[in-house]
């Protein structure tokens, strides 16, 4: 149970990281 929860948290953090990278890229392109 805790394993699946850990996996979900990792996936979530990965998605957040990807979103940050995307926003940084779009900002760099806009600038």
pLDDT at 1: 58
Q: Cβ-count burial of 3 within 10 angstroms (0-12 exposed, 13-18 middle, 19+ buried)?
A: exposed
Listed as own residue / partner, the contacts of 17-25 with beta carbons closer than 8 Å and 24 or more positions apart are: none
Residue with tokens 């394993």: 3
Identify the H or E element spanning 9: helix 2-30
SS3 state of residue 20:
helix
For 1-31, the pLDDT digits (tens) are: 577 999 999 999 999 999 999 999 988 887 6
**pTM for the model:** 0.61
């Amino acid at each position: 149970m805790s394993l699946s929860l850990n996996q979900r948290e990792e996936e979530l953090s990965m998605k957040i990281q990807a979103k940050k990278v995307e926003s940084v890229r779009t900002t760099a392109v806009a600038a």
